[in-house]
Amino acid sequence: MRSATLPIRKVLRIVEEEVGRWRQPAVTRVARINRDAFRVLISTMLSLRTKDEVTSAASRRLFALAATPQNMLRLSERQIAKTIFPVGFYRTKAANIRTVCKQLVNQFGSRVPSSIDTLITFKGVGRKTANLVVTLGYGKPGICVDTHVHRICNRWGYVRTRTPEKTEFALRRTLPRSYWTRFNSLLVAFGQNCCIPVSPHCSWCRVKPYCARVEVKKSR
Ligand code: SF4
């Protein structure tokens, strides 16, 4: 359910101003340097359950060795795992990266598909990754809902949902379309620096006058 009172445009204007002071999320930086759907796809796969700095460094090391599906397949699973270590679940991710690259080469002419429905059929690719590929890789509309977006939208009272997937569909109904592609980058940076998971910085948060602070029991 959507909050009737949250002035979303005003709130996002504030978030946009605040975020300018902070470092951008790892996958956003990858996309800024090189809008390439393959790099966005692989970096996002690496980023799951992994700190941003670790994702950035692992992406750089891996793309220095291979930045296309064909070149990636020249690396063994072991080499990929060694290169991306210490990202979370690096062995599983190395195996998934090879599987995805095989599919790309064999079924898609080495081109990353730009459809969410096709992308989520790939091993290790969920809606979050698929949405990020279409938005950052192709500039197409999509809303990538990760743990930050899910948490913040619920704290604001903008949605009332139990899972990121439900949040995505609630946002698709309510969020002005002009914000879809940048929503994730904005809220990830905001969630890493201000509206953090445990004990958010409500005392200096400029969004506070508009925020319902749902389920925020402890803040600083
Ligand atoms: S007031 Fe607190 S809960 Fe609300 S957005 Fe700001 S930091 Fe998050």
Which region holds residue 124: left if phi is over 0, alpha if psi is between -120 and 50, else beta? Answer: left
Segment 55-62 long-range contacts (CB within 8 Å, at least 24 positions apart): 55/26, 55/27, 55/87, 56/26, 56/29, 56/30, 58/83, 58/84, 58/85, 58/87, 59/26, 59/30
Percent share of the chain, pLDDT over 90: 84
Q: Look over the chain and give the mean of its residue pLDDT values, rounded to a whole number.
A: 93
205 pLDDT more than 50: yes
Q: Which of 11, 22, 151, 194 to mutate to test the pocket of ligand 1 (most atoms within 8 A of CB)?
A: 194
Using an 8 Å Cβ cutoff, are 58 and 87 in contact?
A: yes
Which phi and psi angles does 63 have, rounded to 5°? -70, -20
193 lines ligand 1 (CB under 6 A): no
Q: What is the pLDDT of residue 4?
A: 52
24 pLDDT more than 90: no
94 pLDDT more than 80: yes
DSSP-derived secondary structure for 48-106: TTS-HHHHHHHHHHHHHH--SHHHHHTS-HHHHHHHHTTSTTHHHHHHHHHHHHHHHHH
pLDDT tens digits for 146-204?
Answer: 999 999 999 999 999 999 999 999 999 999 999 998 899 899 999 999 999 999 999 99
Which of 31-35, 76-80, 133-137 has the highest mean predicted lDDT (pLDDT)?
A: 76-80
Using an 8 Å Cβ cutoff, are 156 and 14 in contact?
A: no
- If you take atom 3 of ligand 1, which residue's CA is the nearest one? 213
* Enclosing H/E stretch for 139: none
Q: Which of 150, 201, 206 to mutate to test the pocket of ligand 1 (most atoms within 8 A of CB)?
A: 201
Percent share of the chain, pLDDT over 70: 97
Q: What is the pLDDT of residue 6?
A: 92
Q: Across residues 100-106, what is the average pLDDT?
A: 97
Burial class (CB in 10 A: 0-12, 13-18, 19+), 20: exposed
pLDDT tens digits for 39-72?
Answer: 999 999 999 889 989 999 999 999 999 999 999 9
Structure tokens at 40: 């966005």
2 pLDDT more than 50: no
Domains of the chain in start order, with CATH, are 8-23+143-210 (1.10.1670.10), 36-137 (1.10.340.30)
- How many whole angstroms separate alpha carbon 193 and alpha carbon 199? 12
Closest to 8 measured CA to CA, from 176, 185, 213: 176
19 pLDDT more than 50: yes
